[in-house]
Structure 1
Amino acid sequence: MVAETLTRIAEFTIDGITQGLVLALLGLGITIVFGLGGVLNLSIGVFAFLGVIVALELLGITGNLLVSAVLAVAIVTLFGLVVDKSLLSLVYRSEGEERILLGIFVTLGLAIFLDGLLFISYPSSYSLSFGIPSTTIAGVQIRGSSIGIILISTVILTALYLFFSRTYLGGATRTVMQDETGAVLCGISPRKMRTFVFALSVAIAAIAGILYSTTQSVYAATGFELTILALIVSIVGGVTSIVGAVVAGLALGIIATFTSAYVGAYVAEIALFAVAVIALLLQPEEIA
């Protein structure tokens, strides 16, 4: 009985880490854009769903998921660049709270517009599969999708850590996030950095959407759900903290998995919102 309980806990923990890594990627996409440019991107979930749809369309042409996923991320990222150069250019002309409010309305409007188009064009539910078989280690069953997500997410998060901590471009990005005036004096263009970071966040969102679709079916409304999850992760992580977003994603993934398993999916959603509210109460100055 004890061995069976421990096995279930181990399986739930692995599932929680799997979900948490996807949440960490989504939260990271929100965090880096807000931290650098003061824009709360409420369309990030739509970019995630777009990644899935484009990958599915390309899969019918290439017949290879890896190739289709890479091309899909590239295409969605290019679309993100178009959004940055058009809609966000208007947002970045404003400053302070005005920029935040304008960013919310612009990205929310974009999300609603794209959601409508996607719902009309893709009304069904969709999913992808790595084709990796499940495996059992010490009596603990690990799903193939979990193996794929853990491996890919770990590589991506490690690459992002090395980028932000070891490269000149990553250092320039962090400089703008911490001191925009100082960055300008050092010859760094905040606008170029914002364009780069927004494109990076869109690429991360597309990857997260593709990974998410290997664990469950997604549909047009999933974009809004993923945006809410990304916001919760970013809030719990401190909004502008990259490391905080990753830690928060993992923690919330584990909390959601265990709560859903023992209490129910509905209560799990409430638990996530409750954690976000507690974070707001404990660190209001950081989030403000």
Structure 2
Amino acid sequence: MSATGDLRIDADRLWQRLMQLAEIGANGNGGVDRQALTDGEHAAWRLVIAWGRQAGLLPSTDPAANLFLTLPGREGHLPPVLIGSHLDTQPTGGRFDGAFGVMAALEVATAISEKGIVPRRDIVVVSWTNEEGSRFAPGMMGSEAFVGVRPLEVIRAVSDRDGVSAGREIDRIHAAFPEIGRRPLGFEVAAYIEPHIEQDAVLERAGKMIGVVTGIQGKKTFEIEILGAKGHAGTLPMADRRDALLAFARIAAALEREVGGRDAAVKFTIGRLDAYPHTFPKWHAV
């Protein structure tokens, strides 16, 4: 890259765009509910693609519905620098988780473009598909497909709670953006950078403006089935009951006590609980 001089991002523009993006799926409590591959993410794509095009960035997608915005470099055959995060959120997500990484990357590419600087290699802004995993579990679908650790056919077969498959929704978002380029799944990169906000409270307590991570948390997802036995809510003696929900509560409490006690780097989260047949018992006079 040529000399950058006083190259700076436009902080006001970055903030305004984050606020505008947060309106898509705004939940009324200051947060955002923008689930993966929903109409909300379609709207977010349109907004981000339009901003990218204003700066000369070229939009494209791949078979996993990852979104890329490319600032072309002088030597386009070189592996690019990939920067970004994701646009989907948890149902009660914040305005910045994921979105900040994408918008910060877009702002960097925009600032470089506005200065007339042509980087040696392409700079590619990326938004990964279903990174959160709140609609289609487990998450990190787009990034795992990109690096080849989860087959695309397995990803496409996953369904949400309403029985809608990820494959159907991937096809739907592709159909909604027929004008953008298509690229193969996965490509070599020179470097990957992901600005994120997960350490915000830690940094605030430490009085630090920014932190550079040296590793990333490994993740294991377990789906556990606990089988109980049916019984009459009003007459079955307590000693004879096999209540699956109470068993779950004991297991959850034990894990909460134990996990992290031996190694603070180990974390534990229960993300979803389904209880069946989840009926309300009749009340009986005693």
TM-score category, normalised to shorter length: under 0.3
Which structure has more strand as a fraction of its residues? 2
- Structure number with greater Rg is 2
Greater relative contact order (CA < 8 Å, ≥ 6 in sequence): 1
TM-score scaled to structure 1, two decimals? 0.23
TM-score scaled to structure 2, two decimals? 0.23
Which structure has more helix as a fraction of its residues? 1
